[in-house]
């Protein structure tokens, strides 16, 4: 393909987004602002999902569903539908995310459509807490898993790595040439989407720590509560606000009672995405005790609001977005004493909080929707440049 810069907007792009994000209002959450900007640069973009499509998204995007969410038992249904759509639409570029079964069909489909393929690599797989092995998404933690990824990667024209961990993984473990990789975050805070006026935020009278996330074991909230219990034993005044919901909520509420944290912890439940800004503005310190995350966008949001960041070492973006001792600290959530010491330091030294918050805002400044769109445009340009896979 010979696409000059002024013709890029004419590209027919098929963007595969497996899952159920299009299935309910707000389901895309972090993605929607990026996708809206992307189609302003590439208006001939079609999104392809393996889940349902809510009417609110049909009014905004051209989106097609090829069936239920991908699983081994549904390959016979989804695979042919996806391949038929690829042949019918004759896309110039196919964008896909990671290495699931849908990506396998995208790679196979390029042979009959002659489309270029660009892959978004979210992060390098990192060890989960309590695990000495890399925890890899979608398939088992085996040598054959890496071999499968290498085979797919060898047939992809261009990659967009969401962070430096992801770039390192592509080069060192999947053997991808560095010249086929663009490295820049493509999921970033969209602060102009937040409307704090609708949020019910209590008046703050002490150092306030904020957790935002699902109430599920993998988010590590129980470890944060144990650390908070240690902090409370020193008669220090502080608050812990918990935003989010999940099947672990009742268990966490019982744990708060058992640890004597009723006067410290407030559960706010699920909050509309666009009102989160009010909580970021009101609280002082953002805490993510996750036991495994690709890269937390919530951490980026909190930094953009000038918050101090306490981030788990199991967050794939921790070492990039948190500069230890500069705008916060990276911690091991399994070490409750260590986390408690960090919390105490931030309670006892308000001047450090102010300084750290200013640094967070400065670190977050380059991470904009425009920058994310530019990164996505770059990987599309790289894919059509002719330097990629020719097999």
Q: Which of 93, 131, 38 is nearest to 389 (CA)?
A: 93
The more confident residue out of 344 and 163 is 344
Q: Are strands 207-212 and 238-243 parallel, antiparallel or unpaired?
A: parallel
- Model confidence at 192, pLDDT cuts 50, 70, 90, reads low
Up-side HSE of residue 261: CA atoms within 13 Å toward CB? Answer: 26
Q: What is the rounded average pLDDT of the residues 248-256?
A: 97
**Residue 319: Cβ within 10 Å count:** 15
Q: Quickly tell me which residue has 């918990």 as its tokens.
A: 242
Percent of the chain with pLDDT over 70: 86
Per-residue model confidence (pLDDT) at position 117: 94
pLDDT tens readout for residues 141-159: 445 788 889 999 999 999 9
Whole-number Cα distances in Å, 274 to 158, 191, 278, 361: 33, 9, 9, 19
Which range has highest mean pLDDT (105-109, 152-156, 196-200, 334-338)? Answer: 334-338
Whole-number Cα distances in Å, 36 to 41, 54, 65, 360, 369: 9, 16, 19, 27, 10
Give all strands of the β-sheet with 207-212 in edge-to-edge order. Answer: 265-269, 238-243, 207-212, 285-288, 308-312, 328-331
Domains plus CATH for the chain?
5-188+369-384 (3.40.50.2000), 192-364 (3.40.50.2000)
User: CA–CA separation, 71 vs 138, rounded Å?
Assistant: 9
Q: What is the rounded average pLDDT of the residues 24-48?
A: 88
Question: Across the chain, how many H-helices and E-strands are there?
Answer: 14, 13
Query: Which helix H or strand E contains 363, and what residues bound it?
Result: helix 350-364
The more confident residue out of 1 and 270 is 270
Q: Contact at 8 Å (CB) between 157 and 147?
A: no
User: CA–CA separation, 274 vs 192, rounded Å?
Assistant: 9
- Model confidence at 230, pLDDT cuts 50, 70, 90, reads very high
User: CA–CA separation, 100 vs 56, rounded Å?
Assistant: 27
Kindly report the pTM of this predicted structure.
0.77
- Model confidence at 19, pLDDT cuts 50, 70, 90, reads confident
Percent of the chain with pLDDT over 90: 51
Q: Contact at 8 Å (CB) between 302 and 280?
A: yes
| Ramachandran quadrant class, 203 (left: phi over 0; alpha: psi -120 to 50; beta: rest) | beta
The residues, ordered by sequence, that sit 6+ positions from 258 with a Cβ below 8 Å of its Cβ are: none
Per-residue model confidence (pLDDT) at position 6: 64
Q: Which of 85, 153, 87 is nearest to 118 (CA)?
A: 153
Q: Output b/e per residue, 23-49; b: 16+ Cβ within 10 A.
A: beeebbebbbbbbbbbbebbeebbbbb
Q: Which of 355, 353, 324, 318 is nearest to 338 (CA)?
A: 324
Task: Write 70-76 long-range contacts (CB < 8 A, 24+).
Answer: 70/18, 70/100, 70/101, 70/102, 71/101, 72/101, 75/101
User: CA–CA separation, 35 vs 28, rounded Å?
Assistant: 9
């Amino acid at each position: 393909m010979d696409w000059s810069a002024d013709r890029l907007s004419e590209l027919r792009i098929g963007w595969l987004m497996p899952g159920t994000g299009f299935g309910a209002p707000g389901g895309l959450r972090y993605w929607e602002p990026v996708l809206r900007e992307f189609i302003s640069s590439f208006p001939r973009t079609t999104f392809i999902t393996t889940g349902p499509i809510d009417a609110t998204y049909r009014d905004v995007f051209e989106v097609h569903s090829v069936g239920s969410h991908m699983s081994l038992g549904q390959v016979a249904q989804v695979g042919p539908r996806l391949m038929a759509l690829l042949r019918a639409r004759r896309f110039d570029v196919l964008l896909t995310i990671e290495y699931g079964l849908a990506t396998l069909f995208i790679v196979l489909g390029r042979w009959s459509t002659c489309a270029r393929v660009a892959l978004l690599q979210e992060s390098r797989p990192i060890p989960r807490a309590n695990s000495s092995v890399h925890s890899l998404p979608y398939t088992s933690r085996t040598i054959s898993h890496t071999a499968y990824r290498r085979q797919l990667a060898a047939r992809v024209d261009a990659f967009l790595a969401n962070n430096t961990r992801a770039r390192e993984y592509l080069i060192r473990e999947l053997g991808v040439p560095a010249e086929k990789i663009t490295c820049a975050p493509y999921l970033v805070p969209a602060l102009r989407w937040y409307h704090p006026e609708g949020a019910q935020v209590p008046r703050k009278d002490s150092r306030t720590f904020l957790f935002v996330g699902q109430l599920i074991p993998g988010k590590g909230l129980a470890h944060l509560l144990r650390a908070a219990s240690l902090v409370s034993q020193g008669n220090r005044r502080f608050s812990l606000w918990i935003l989010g919901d999940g099947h672990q909520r009742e268990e966490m509420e019982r744990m708060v009672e058992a640890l004597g944290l009723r006067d410290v912890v407030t559960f706010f439940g699920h909050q509309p995405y666009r009102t989160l800004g009010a909580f970021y503005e009101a609280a002082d310190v953002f805490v993510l005790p996750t036991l495994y995350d690709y890269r937390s966008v919530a951490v980026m949001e909190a930094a953009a609001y000038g918050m101090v960041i306490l981030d788990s070492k199991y967050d794939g973006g921790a070492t990039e977005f948190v500069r230890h001792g500069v705008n916060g600290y990276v911690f091991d959530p399994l070490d409750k004493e260590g986390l408690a010491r960090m919390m105490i330091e931030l309670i006892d030294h308000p001047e450090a909080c102010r300084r750290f918050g200013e640094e967070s805002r400065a670190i977050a400044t380059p991470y904009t929707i425009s920058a994310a769109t530019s990164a996505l445009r770059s990987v599309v340009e790289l894919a059509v440049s002719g330097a990629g896979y020719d097999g």
